[in-house]
Structure 1
Amino acid sequence: MEIFLRNIPNDYLFKKKYLDEHSSEIETLILGSSHSLYGFNPEYFTSKTFNASYISQTLNFDYEIFHKYKFKNLKTIVLPISYFSLWENLRNGPESWRVKNYILYLDLHSKLIIDHSEILSNRLNINLERLVLFYIFGKQNIISSKLGWGTNFKSEYAHDLIQTGKNRAYANTYDINSDEFQNIFNDNKLILNLFINECKDRNIRLLLLNPPAFKTFRNNLNANQLKITIETSEEFASEYDNCLYLNLIDDSNFIAEDFYDADHLSEIGAEKLSKLINKKINNWK
């Protein structure tokens, strides 16, 4: 079962193959979670761009991906700091089963046995379903374009913006004063600091941004969590001359038709955001 599961094509393996073959050519690297995956289409960037983000990808894995490759021609990294980013660590979250994907398919390191196994990381019924879907029905679960952008959040299948606004805000609001989330916050600040300093040493610019969100999502956020997110990002940008921060969470250019759900863009919104960020990069002196 382990062998058959590992031979099912997946986005992690696809992205590793691209990075293995083309990392030295990339000029703009996009990292982050689903906001990046669905928000930045490299087709609309004038520089050689690849989207190495993925669903629930946290800052520690962003840094590890960046650190793994030499990226000889890399000039700019785009890294969203979303409402939830500073308080998330994939291993501590509800999708911790995704950790093994970085170990098995991106060849990152872990000393935990569970991270080196498909069958130990997911429930049996889920693994059986995956086997049946691929080996019997031939269904693949590749959602990435050839340059890593997520293709399955199409506007024609957009979700209700009112309900998803409430649900998504609730799911991404944390008890930020608890010891657990304070520790994660401190760890993520440390990772960001290492990230920016390594970029500075390698003459790479780091563009941080809070991505666009629909008003139903914004209206249900915890004001303090959002405030700390923005202030922390601003502090990094003001301290380091190779760092720029853009707060686009309530950018009026993004309207209801641009969203797949209340905090994710559809292909329409992704085109708009990609062109906007491409222009910012090209004008960044």
Structure 2
Amino acid sequence: MKKVIIFGTGATSKIVNSGLKEDVDIVCYCDNDKSKWGKIFDEKEVICPENIKEINFDYIIIASQFNDEIYNQLIEIGINQVKVLQFFKYIDSFWSYVEFDLLQLYNNRENVEGIITGISYAEKGINEKVLIKNFNKLTRHSQDLYYDYNLVNYAIDKYKEEMKNLKYVIISLSYYSFEYDMSLSAMKGKVQAYYKAIGKEHHLLDIDRYLSETENNEYIVKEVFHLDIYGYPKVKWNITSSDKKIDLVNEEYGKRQALLDCNKNYYETVKENTEILQKYLQLLKDNNIKPIIVVCPVSKYYSKYFLQSMKEEFYSIINKVKEQYSFQFLDYFNNKLFEDSDFYDVSHLNEIGAEKFTRILNKDIIWDTDSV
């Protein structure tokens, strides 16, 4: 019987639990939220991280998007790294969604007319199938401007001769994009998917550590999970942490998320990202591709609490760059055409909202009249 501790009590903990072998015993859960310590979650006690060393266990499974912070925390309190499974890091290394997106683009290379890059706002908020041109998405949750640019640069370098119809790139930005560097953020573990696909690690990757952690994750996964024929954990991804439907579009969540996203003040990152945008626009100019910079809609609860100072910083950079480069700029941040029912949460559109927004883009984007 393998004894495991699951670190995290959100939706991911239930996903992990759904795929464990019958001979795996969850001895307890662990969480950094003090309000949960000593309480019962899924019939097991939730303990403080400092108490882990008092528990008899074989492995700890990190079931949280804040993987790197938790991993480092465990190492600091004396947990042997060979006992730690970084669940999301394993998933990212097993199936590279970045490679998948590039493969989709490659398969469509002779017909593609446009590429969309950006973070989750564009991933959720723009439906490429509704656009009146043939677009491929290179958008993913937590993706930053560095990888927006490098993905398109990679695609042009590899497929330029075959992508003869490529005329547009939609660059989806948020007001905090210039303050954001994925490789230095809580989401830095996702860099491995980009490194695997295009060989770009930015400010993060220690290759020896990456290879060692990957090997360790693979070993523990085989020990504790049911696997499919490809070696992928047989987990249920559609499980939620509660049977009750949670309202994610309200003032409380809007304030919390807006202030979290605005809690950034990184001069060097802003400087670097400004230069990256300039390189990105120069790349498109050199290849006769029209850039369309888009800020996606957010709910009124999110926009209400978003800091004016960060919006002003964003506009200052956009206006400065516009003196050097030509691009269409479309800002829908405070757009009044969207209702609460159009949003999945306070800052992301749902499927209905995405179709609505994409139809607006069809009208607002200045398309090449020869190809409309």
Task: Look up the match of 1:87.
Answer: 179
Q: How does 1:104-119 map to 2 (within 5 A)?
A: 104=196, 106-110=197-201, 112-114=205-207, 117=210
**C-alpha distance in 2, partners of 1:196/1:102?**
21
Cα displacement string for residues 65-111 of structure 1 (whole angstroms, at most 9, x for unaligned residues): 0011125221111112202211111111001000001112x233349
Task: Evaluate the alpha carbon distance shift between residue 203 and residue 258 of structure 1 in structure 2; reply closer, same or farther with a 3 A threshold.
Answer: same
* Counterpart secondary structure, 1:66: helix
The 3 A distance-change label for structure 1 pair 254 and 167 is same
Evaluate the alpha carbon distance shift between residue 26 and residue 213 of structure 1 in structure 2; reply closer, same or farther with a 3 A threshold: same
1:261 and 1:130 map into 2 onto residues whose CA distance is: 37
Counterpart residue type for residue 114 of structure 2 = T
Q: What is residue 27 of structure 2 aligned with on the other side?
A: none
Are residue 263 (structure 1) and residue 347 (structure 2) matched? yes
Select 1:246's aligned residue among 313, 330, 335. 330
Kindly indicate whether residue 167 of structure 2 is the aligned counterpart of residue 75 of structure 1.
Answer: yes
1:173 CA displacement? 1.1
3-state DSSP class of the match of 1:187? helix
Does structure 2 retain, via aligned residues, the 8 Å contact 1:8–1:140? no
Q: What is the DSSP-based 3-state SS (H/G/I as helix, E as strand, rest coil) of the residue aligned with 1:78?
A: strand
Unaligned runs of 5+ in 1: 143-155
Match of 1:120 in 2: 213
TM (norm. structure 2) is 0.63
Are residues 201 and 123 of structure 1, via their aligned partners in 2, closer, same or farther at CA, if it must alter by over 3 Å?
same
- Are 1:46 and 2:132 an aligned pair? yes
For residues 167 and 240 of structure 1, what CA distance do their matches in structure 2 show? 36
Preserved contact between residue 100 and residue 115 of structure 1 (Cα < 8 Å) = no
- Are residues 1:191 and 2:282 paired? no
Map Cα deviations across residues 244-284 of structure 1 (whole Å, 9 max, x no partner). Answer: 11111111111111111111000011001111112223546
Mapped to 2, the partners of 1:134 and 1:189 lie a distance apart of: 44
Shift of 1:131: 7.3
Of the candidates 260, 270, 274, which is equivalent to residue 171 of structure 1? 260
Whichever residue aligns with residue 210 of structure 1, its letter is V
Alignment check: 8 A CA contact 2:221 2:233 kept: no
Please name the residue that 1:148 is paired with. Answer: none
Task: Check 1:79–1:5 CA distance in 2 against 1; reply closer, same or farther (3 A cut).
Answer: closer
Q: Is the 8 A contact 2:96 2:193 kept in 1?
A: no
| Residue aligning to 2:78 | none
1:209 partnered with 2:294:
yes
| Equivalent residues of 1:8, 1:134 under 8 A apart | no
Q: Specify the alignment match of 2:321 in structure 1.
A: 236
Matched pairs, number: 264
Tell me how far apart the structure 2 counterparts of residues 170 and 129 of structure 1 sit (CA, whole Å): 40
1:133, CA displacement in angstroms?
6.7
State the structure with more CA Rg: 2
The answer to which structure has the higher helix fraction is 1
- Post-superposition CA distance 1:205-225 (Å, at most 9, x none): 111122111111111111111
Query: Which of 1 and 2 has higher RCO (CA within 8 Å, sep 6+)?
Result: 1
Q: Distance in 2 between matches of 1:99 and 1:249?
A: 28
**Secondary structure at the counterpart of residue 305 of structure 2:** coil
CA gap of 1:47–1:92, structure 2 versus 1, over 3 A, is same
Q: Which amino acid aligns with 2:142?
A: S
**Would you say the 8 A contact 1:80–1:209 is kept in 2?**
yes
Tell me the distance in 1 between the aligned counterparts of 2:285 and 2:258: 34
Moved more, 85-94 or 269-278: 269-278
Q: In structure 1, how many angstroms separate the alpha carbons of the residues matched to 2:273 and 2:94? A: 32
Secondary structure of the residue that 2:169 maps to in structure 1? strand
Where is the strand percentage greater, Structure 1 or Structure 2? 2
Q: Is residue 160 of structure 1 aligned with residue 242 of structure 2?
A: no
Q: Could you tell me which runs of 5 or more consecutive residues in structure 2 were left unpaired when the two chains were aligned.
A: 1-84, 239-244
| Maintained 8 Å contact 2:93/2:192 | no
**SS class of match (2:328):** strand
TM-aligned CA deviation for residue 115 of structure 1: 8.3
Tell me: CA distance 1:170–1:88, structure 2 relative to 1, closer, same or farther (3 Å). same
CA deviations on 1:187-220 (whole Å, 9 max, x unpaired) are 0000000111111111111111221111111111
- TM-score norm. by structure 1 comes to 0.80
Q: Does the Cα contact within 8 Å between 1:90 and 1:99 map onto a contact in 2? A: yes
Q: Distance in 2 between matches of 1:107 and 1:130?
A: 31
* Residue aligning to 1:150: none
* Structure 2 match to 1:61: 147
Residues of 2 paired with 1:39 and 1:182: CA distance? 29
